[in-house]
């Protein structure tokens, strides 16, 4: 391990970041670039052109077996029955028995006995332990195969993940990797696996968390460096994780551990749309979610005339001074040029209401807005 980073892991692309003199920081326990230069410029690159992120700290997990659909139907709050076409993706929360969010994830249907999930880096170990325990409880025939480098066995190759996002992302990916043109007609939240003669397995998924179009590329880790440089040669600039955070927040995308956690109901986190409460299907945490119901709503806050960013858990008050909620995450928006925040507030607060946010010793006026703040460059 590099001196100064005693417990952090590094991705297959670490040397490429170092050669570019990226500022390396701790991202979910991994040594990853937080910025290569100006965070603001990197942010605008994704909004206006195309940028790429090393997302190899995310944990790809393949699930195989005759009972995989049954098991995922119990593990996921969203309806796995929606996945019928190979390559189709589904966003879902995985809940604990008290109805709190263990993790939010994307799962892909590859074949009837083969699904693929992408887990958040920080929660990977917890998620895998939970999944395996529930498979044992259900006496299901499912094999869980993690594909991240710190989990793989000799029989399985690790995967790296590169996200390419922005209005010009797709055309530049096709220029860099001709085989990826198989994904040209993919609709959002769909994927395809290309068996490229040069790079082997390459999954091209039209997903991402920046509010822009683009792909997430899941590829064999041993080819990650070459593909990274091919993407750079096609005019795709590397972008650090500080810009990823401002982009996802402008897009109103949740971040596990900030906007929800194992104590938070998905209904209070604004994720009710991803929870299947209408069907007879039972899933872990369903009865608890039904019993708790919704006690808060999830909204955006646009801080008026201020670039002061409120810390997480900052108090939100109404115009009369009564506490109505708390900030979950916030940032300065390079696109809007104001501070913005995501917050959980009382359900009676209406969109357009004027509130105040406690930013250290100051109360800053804010307006309650719908999210996303910014999507597709505007």
Q: What is the pLDDT of residues 293-321, one digit of tens each?
A: 899 999 999 998 777 999 999 999 999 99
Mean predicted confidence (pLDDT) in 263-279? 96
Mean predicted confidence (pLDDT) in 179-184? 94
pLDDT bin (cut points 50, 70, 90) of residue 65 is very high
Do residues 218 and 164 make contact, with C-beta atoms less than 8 angstroms apart?
no
Residue with tokens 């801080």: 303
Mean predicted confidence (pLDDT) in 239-257? 97
How far apart CA 372 and CA 299 sit, in angstroms, is: 9
Task: Name the CATH architecture for the domain at 296-369.
Answer: Beta Barrel (2.40)
Candidate CATH numbers 3.30.1360.120, 3.40.50.1370, 3.40.50.150, 3.40.50.300; the one for domain 9-56+156-250: 3.30.1360.120
Looking at beta carbons, which pairs linking 123-132 to residues 24 or more positions away fall under 8 Å?
123/256, 123/257, 124/59, 124/148, 124/151, 126/102, 127/59, 127/61, 127/94, 127/102, 127/103, 128/59, 128/61, 130/75, 130/94, 130/96, 130/102, 131/61, 131/63, 131/71, 131/75
Do residues 330 and 312 make contact, with C-beta atoms less than 8 angstroms apart?
yes
Provide the mean pLDDT of the chain. 95
Bridge partners, residue 195, by sequence: 201
Between residues 99 and 198, the one the model is more confident about: 99
Comparing C-alpha atoms, which of 56, 60, 57 is closest to residue 28?
57
In CATH, the number for domain 59-146 is 3.30.70.1400
Cβ neighbours of residue 343 under 8 Å, at least 6 residues apart?
298, 299, 300, 301, 316, 325, 326, 327, 328, 357
How far apart CA 251 and CA 373 sit, in angstroms, is: 6
Given a cut of 70, whether residue 287 has pLDDT beyond it is yes
Task: Tell me if 59-146 shares its fold with 296-369.
Answer: no
pLDDT bin (cut points 50, 70, 90) of residue 344 is very high
Mean predicted confidence (pLDDT) in 213-241? 98
pLDDT bin (cut points 50, 70, 90) of residue 1 is very low
**Domain residue spans of the chain:** 9-56+156-250, 59-146, 296-369
Task: For residue 139, give both structure tokens.
Answer: 């006496």
Task: For residue 133, give both structure tokens.
Answer: 């325990």
- pTM for this model (two decimals): 0.95
Per-residue pLDDT, 2: 41
How far apart CA 244 and CA 210 sit, in angstroms, is: 7
Per-residue pLDDT, 377: 62
């Amino acid at each position: 391990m590099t001196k100064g980073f005693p417990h952090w892991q590094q991705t297959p692309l670490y040397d490429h970041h170092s050669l570019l003199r990226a500022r390396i920081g701790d991202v979910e326990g991994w040594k990853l670039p937080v910025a290569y230069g100006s965070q603001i410029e990197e942010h605008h690159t994704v909004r206006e052109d195309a940028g790429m992120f090393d997302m190899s700290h995310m944990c790809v997990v393949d699930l195989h077996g005759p009972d995989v659909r049954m098991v995922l139907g119990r593990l996921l709050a969203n309806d796995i029955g929606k996945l019928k076409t190979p390559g189709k993706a589904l966003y879902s929360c995985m809940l604990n028995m008290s109805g709190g969010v263990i993790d939010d994830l994307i799962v892909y249907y590859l074949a009837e006995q083969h699904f693929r999930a992408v887990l958040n880096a920080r929660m990977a170990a917890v998620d895998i332990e939970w999944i395996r325990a529930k498979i044992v409880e259900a006496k299901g025939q499912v094999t869980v195969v993690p594909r991240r480098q710190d989990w793989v066995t000799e029989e399985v190759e690790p995967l790296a993940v590169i996200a390419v996002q922005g209005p010009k992302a797709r055309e530049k990916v096709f220029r860099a990797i001709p085989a990826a043109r198989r994904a040209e007609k993919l609709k959002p939240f769909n994927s395809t696996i290309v068996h490229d003669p040069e790079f082997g397995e390459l999954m091209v998924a039209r997903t991402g968390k920046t509010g822009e179009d683009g792909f997430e590329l899941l590829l064999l880790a041993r080819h990650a460096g070459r593909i990274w440089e091919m993407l750079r040669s096609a005019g795709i600039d590397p972008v650090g994780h500080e810009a990823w955070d401002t982009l996802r927040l402008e897009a109103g995308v949740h971040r596990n551990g900030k906007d929800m956690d194992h104590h938070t109901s998905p209904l209070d986190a604004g994720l009710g749309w991803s929870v299947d409460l209408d069907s007879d299907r039972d899933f872990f945490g369903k009865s608890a979610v039904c019993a708790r119901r919704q006690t808060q709503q999830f909204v955006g806050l646009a801080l008026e005339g201020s670039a002061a960013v409120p810390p997480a858990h900052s108090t939100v008050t109404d115009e009369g001074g009564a506490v109505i909620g708390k900030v979950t995450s916030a940032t300065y928006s390079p696109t809007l040029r104001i501070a913005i925040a995501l917050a959980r507030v009382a359900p009676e607060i209406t969109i357009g209401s004027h509130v105040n946010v406690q930013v250290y010793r100051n109360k800053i006026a804010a307006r309650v807005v719908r999210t996303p703040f910014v999507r597709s460059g505007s």
